[in-house]
Amino acid sequence: METFFSFLERRVDDCTSLLCVGLDPHASDLSTRLRHGERKANRQPDGSRQAFPVPTAQNALDFCLHLVKQTARYAAAFKPNAAFFEVFGAQGWTALKQVIEAVQEESNRLGSMIPVILDAKRGDIASTAEAYAKSTFETLGAHCITLSPYLGKDSIDPFLGYKEKGVFLLCKTSNPGAGDIQDLTVNGGPLTDSPSTVNGLRPVPLYVHVAELAQSWNTGNNIGLVVGATQPEALARVRAAAPGLWFLAPGIGAQGGDLETALKAGLRKDGRGMLLPISRGISRAENPALAAAEFRDEIIAIRSSLLDNL
């Protein structure tokens, strides 16, 4: 049976890319597009009328469909952010499903299936987790989802039950407050190369413990980690703890992460194992197709240079 990550690796081979195109229809971006097109006249309390754009689910759908068509040939994966669709209610949910279907259609046109990673960061237990898994994989048709692992393995088991699907667990995220919890010292399990243990345990940051757990849980080749590209030291430490896992590494571009430093810290020895999500750097470009091609080419050039120097 094919797993999500074998599916992903085939796509990486087909398009020679580690680029993950983010589909984030921010209200501000939709409003900007509307200012150059249709406007909705709204009556003010004083009786005057002021024209200003009011984004809708249809605008979010159009925004994403344009990006999919422009960038599909360069994308190893697409990553729609659920929140930017959910804000539109039921119509937004329908739009999200249509975006995922559009990726399928574009994949068929290209003759290479492109994975869709739903960026939802779900985290719950029992029947609630089962419902989240069903909505992600059956209702929406996504191939993978981001999850919070902090409720324990039973919170991700319903997702792992879909053997051909995948999950990326939040490990070391790129936001400024990530260290408030993820850097806390905990007692990790013993490792043969551990310099020190206390009663068979050793102190490690929580994010390292999460990485080690994910590595041990990955018996079905369907678990990866979200590791921010903005902190290369942490990225390298997670790679040491989870040498075989794929990383979803946000933070390049708008968040200030350095591409070469991140790739050097996070790539596996085979030159794979990292997806680099880029959202605003592509969606806000005058020519999204050109921006995606340039990001793809830069990633591959740096990867090739790093592999040549091994």
Q: Are strands 185-188 and 247-248 parallel, antiparallel or unpaired?
A: unpaired
**CA 9, CA 272: separation in Å to the nearest integer?**
8
- Using alpha carbons, select from 40, 73, 140 the residue that is nearest to residue 100: 140
Phi, psi of 223 (to 5 degrees): -125, 130
Q: How many CB atoms lie within 10 A of CB 147?
A: 26
Residue whose tokens read 């040939």: 73
Which residues are designated catalytic? 121
Written as one string, the DSSP assignment of 146-202 is EE--TT-GGGTHHHHTSTT-EEEEEEE-SSTTTHHHHT-EEEEPP-TT-S--BTTBE
Which residues lie below 8 Å from residue 113, measured CB to CB, with a gap of 6+? 7, 10, 11, 104, 107
Question: Can you tell me which residue has the tokens 């969606």?
Answer: 283
How many whole angstroms separate alpha carbon 229 and alpha carbon 173? Answer: 9
With tokens 């680099």, the residue in question is 276
Residues 6+ apart with CB under 8 A from 169: 146, 147, 148, 149, 156, 210, 214, 223, 224, 225, 226
